[in-house]
Structure 1
């Protein structure tokens, strides 16, 4: 095991966004750079799970992988399983590239408040659950494989089955706007 692994999900096709979200910019930084920094602050290693068409656009010094062939293109669960299978760790902190307002402040607080009794710890704002800013225990690979083999792709459904502790987002940041994901360039 190599400790805490950050999983930066950058594998989506960004259909609604119109261009690859990972390379969109905010404040002069690319979305993936912001997410990478937030994960790097609390992880021993960060792996980017990218769409195959985008893999070569990331700097060579970053650890960039694509979905395992058997589960390629099956959404965030496939990206999480791919990272777990290829980068063994004690736990995994998941953050998608389209949540550019998450910083090291939020990742640090999430780690500090991890529920050690549950398989997954995630955030819940007053309005919605935020499943992909979360911590996953290492023992979930087999359950993820079974879920994907059965055609399951819905993250929330899997999280319910696996056992998830939902943290009140205000213990991480009182501004719930930091937990939103950007699906369109004008958001």
Structure 2
């Protein structure tokens, strides 16, 4: 079994952003490229979860999947669940494509700080960041059942399991590194 799989969430509708965030550019690189690099530094395998119509936009050779049919379009939990079903592993490092400031040092630091909790997630002084997190590999079926019951909130799921919140300052001193980009950077 694979030890750590990185889950790059790239399936959002990007309504506020106006176009798929995965292909937005910053400093000459696409958001998904930066996030992929960050995950690859701490994982044995990286899977990108995208909307079906975007799968062909990613380069050949990358593992890109869509949500499982039974949870398709049901938000980030569906993406996490779909990746868990495709790639059984001991644990999963989750990072959305709209957090391009998180780099290899930060992903490696989160892995090092993780405990025996079901999920280890990051929080700044201002907010909790549930989608920059490390998940225990045994939650695939429980997560799928949660979604199938109509529950789509990441926070609500994390409240049902043992979740440890790690201070972002232990990972990087600048909380701006942990922001997600919802509008275009000028």
Which TM-score bucket, shorter chain as reference?
Answer: over 0.9
Tell me the SS of whatever aligns to 2:77.
helix
4+ residue segments displaced more than 6 Å: none
> Partners of 2:7 and 2:144 in 1: how far apart?
17
Match of 1:114 in 2: 114
How far the C-alpha of 1:3 sits from its partner, in A, is: 1.2
Structure 2 regions of 5+ residues with no counterpart?
none
CA RMSD, 1 decimal: 0.8
Q: CA deviation at 1:149?
A: 1.2
Distance, in Å, in 1 between the alignment partners of 2:9 and 2:38 is 13
SS at match of 1:178: helix
SS in 1 for 2:52: coil
Counterparts of 1:54 and 1:166 in 2: how far apart (Å)? 32
- Which deviations, in whole Å up to 9, do the C-alpha atoms of 1:41-89 show, x marking residues without a partner? 0100000001111100000110000000111000000000000001111
For residues 108-130 of structure 1, the C-alpha deviation after alignment (integer angstroms, 9 at most, x for no partner) is: 100000011x1000001000000
Which residue is equivalent to 1:143? Answer: 142
**What is the distance in 2 between the residues matched to 1:35 and 1:20?**
14
Secondary structure, counterpart of 1:70 in structure 2: helix
| Cα deviation code 1:128-172 (max 9, x no counterpart) | 000000000011112101111110000011011111100011000
> Post-superposition shift, 1:39?
0.3
1:162 & 1:11 partners in 2: Cα distance?
24
Distance (whole Å) between structure 2 residues aligned to residue 52 and residue 8 of structure 1 = 15
Q: Does 1:156 align with 2:155?
A: yes
